[in-house]
Structure 1
């Protein structure tokens, strides 16, 4: 286990504190970084994500993608969670917590808008960051890439109808520029770059060259993740200090939704007999959110200063630290997972206790 993984809680806590502090004391720097965007996609953040995921994508041999159907259980579970459970569970949690339990503590005029933002956040499954979570759980990279690509294809046709159904709107404005640019920047560009690098390294010294390159790139990937965390909290440092109660209350249903959906996906994978290296990324993909698309959709529908926009931003703030905690749970529970009867039957694995 690396130093980063061993002291994960400490690093995350420090990055949150540093990000909020920097965002408060030097907001101009973060405003400048935040303004460097196109179609609501932040370019500096995209570069950091490239640094995070390209090392993981270098490991992928595209010829092996033909075997991804071996993971049909994990694919089925993830699709079920992403499209049949997550948006609807968030709608229920939003109504329960924001519309009922926390209602007296929140601005009455923004209640419906807050709930709408939570629904929009849950309706778009994550893309780029799941490569990071998958790598930290030692997940099957071919499954992760295939699952992300499949989710992106479904999102193009399902995002608008699901949001429209849950919000009660006859039609919604899908920020197509954000969706297309995000898929291009977070999937297509890094995949192409990683495969060019992989082929070059293989031509030099085979797998030994790849292993040497990864030894250099892996620490860079971790640094990029920590810098991303600082930037996310730095962008919203002023909001956190100005509206701490509202942000804390909005975070409650988001946190419950992440743990509920990741836990359900993990248990369903175990019950179906899927391998742990697939169940981990399946649970993480099932729980995480495509926050760039969510923020852009909320702004286009309700306005920049709306409760919906703020709710999606809270999702951004929660995303990294809470998903890292899910990674920790998945890794620590591997022994328990592999003692499952269905897992042992399908994989032939027998735990030492057996």
Structure 2
């Protein structure tokens, strides 16, 4: 690990502060960059995410995807947490913290809207950024890709009914253009691009050129992550400075939800005996959110200036630093995880097979 990677937490903190300061000092510039979007998907951020995830996708050999079924325990755990636990636990946390404990310190007229925004955020599992988190935990890339693809397919049919059920609405307007464009931009295009590059580099059977490219791209991928942070916090710099108290209170249930769902997925995988390289991405997929879709849905339902839109934006702001902390926990606990009898037994069986 390079010195730059070793102090990644410090660079993240500095980029957050820089983003807030620049967003407050140069709001016009960030408004201009924020306006470069299609269907509420910001194109500069999309380009940075490509720089982050294409190096991870270059490692994926599509011929090996057929073997991902052996990780059926991890797939089952992730699906359970994403669709049967996460939206409902967030609804409960929203009611406890926003609707009850923090109610005296929040604008009364926005309470229900804040809770709605939290629910919308939790009902959309993350897509592209999961590849970054998975890579940082040395996660199994084929499992990560197949799990993300499966979540995207389920989201098409399950997002609207779950949100409608929890918000008590007879029908909701799903921002299909945002959903479809995000999947195409963040999954389809980079997967195709990565596979074309991979095939060109390993023509003849040698992976030397691919390995050399990955070594050069790794620092660029981390720089793209930091630049994304500056942009995201810069976009909301004025909001953060204008109402820091509200943002801090909204962050509490989001933080609890992230750690609860990540911990639940991680422990269930350990109990089931799944390999650590699967449990890590499973926990991260179970905890993170598809914030582009959540923000677009909140704005479509409640308006740009609504409490729901602000709640989803808070999710955007804390996504990267919080997920990096989950990555740290997953990495530091690897030895403890692999001491579980079920994990050791399955690892022995896999070696003997």
Q: TM-score, normalised by structure 1?
A: 0.97
Q: Following TM superposition, by how much is the alpha carbon of 1:182 offset from its aligned partner in structure 2, in angstroms?
A: 0.2
Q: Which residue of 1 aligns with 2:44?
A: 44
Q: Counterpart in 1 of 2:130?
A: 130
The alpha carbon displacement at 1:8 in A equals 2.7
How far apart are 1:204 and its partner, in Å?
A: 6.5
Paired residue secondary structure (2:274): coil
Report what 1:309 is aligned to. 309
Match status 1:230 vs 2:217: no
1:62 and 2:50 are equivalent in the alignment: no
Q: Secondary structure at the match of 1:348?
A: helix
1:274/1:185 CA distance change after superposition, 3 Å: same
CA-CA distance at 1:4 after TM superposition: 4.0
Indicate the RMSD between aligned Cα atoms, in angstroms. 0.9
Deviations 1:208-233 (A, max 9, x none): 01001101111110100010011110
Query: Taking structure 1 as reference, are residues 241 and 99 closer, same or farther at Cα in structure 2, changes over 3 Å only?
Result: same
Q: Deviations over 1:105-129 (max 9, x none)?
A: 0000000000000000000000000
Structure 1 residue aligned with 2:112: 112
Residues 226-249 of structure 1: CA deviation (Å, up to 9, x unaligned):
100111101000000000000000
Judged with a 3 Å threshold, the aligned counterparts in structure 2 of structure 1 residues 19 and 310 are, in CA distance, closer, same or farther, namely same
Q: 1:45-104: per-residue Cα shift (whole Å, max 9, x none)?
A: 000000000011001000000000010010000000000000000000000000000000
Name the residue aligned to 2:8: 8
Alignment: residue pair count: 349
Confirm or deny that 1:74 pairs with 2:61.
no
CA 338–319 in structure 1, closer or farther in 2 if over 3 Å, else same = same
Instruction: Tell me, in whole angstroms, the C-alpha distance in 1 between the residues paired with 2:4 and 2:279.
Output: 22
Matched residue, 1:262: 262
Counterparts of 1:327-346 in structure 2, within 5 Å, are: 327-346=327-346
Normalised by the length of structure 2, the TM-score is 0.98
Following TM superposition, by how much is the alpha carbon of 1:6 offset from its aligned partner in structure 2, in angstroms? 2.0
**Cα separation, 2, equivalents of 1:4 and 1:321:** 17
Q: Give 1:205 shift.
A: 7.0
Taking a change above 3 Å as real, the CA distance of residues 322 and 230 of structure 1, as seen in their structure-2 partners, is same
- 1:103 paired to 2:103: yes
Question: Within 1, Cα distance between the matches of 2:3 and 2:286?
Answer: 27
Shift in Å at residue 206 of structure 1? 2.1
Q: Classify 1:125/1:67 alpha carbon distance in 2 versus 1 (closer, same or farther; 3 Å).
A: same
**How much does 1:5 deviate?**
3.8
| In structure 2, distance between residues paired with 1:316 and 1:124 | 12
Pairing 1:241–2:241 present:
yes
Gaps of 5+ in 2: none
**Aligned partners of 2:39, 2:242: CA distance in 1, in Å?**
27
- Which residue is equivalent to 1:352? none
Deviations 1:310-339 (A, max 9, x none): 000000001000000000000000000000
Aligned to 1:158: 158
Structure-1 separation of matches of 2:294 and 2:331: 29
Secondary structure of residue in 1 paired with 2:139: coil
Q: Following the alignment from structure 1 to structure 2, what is the Cα–Cα distance between the partners of residues 140 and 222?
A: 19
Q: How big is the shift at 1:27?
A: 1.1
Q: Runs in 1 of length 4+ with deviation above 4 angstroms?
A: none
SS of the aligned residue for 1:203 comes to coil
Match of 1:24 in 2: 24
CA positional deviation for 1:9:
2.1
5+ residue gaps, structure 1: 350-354
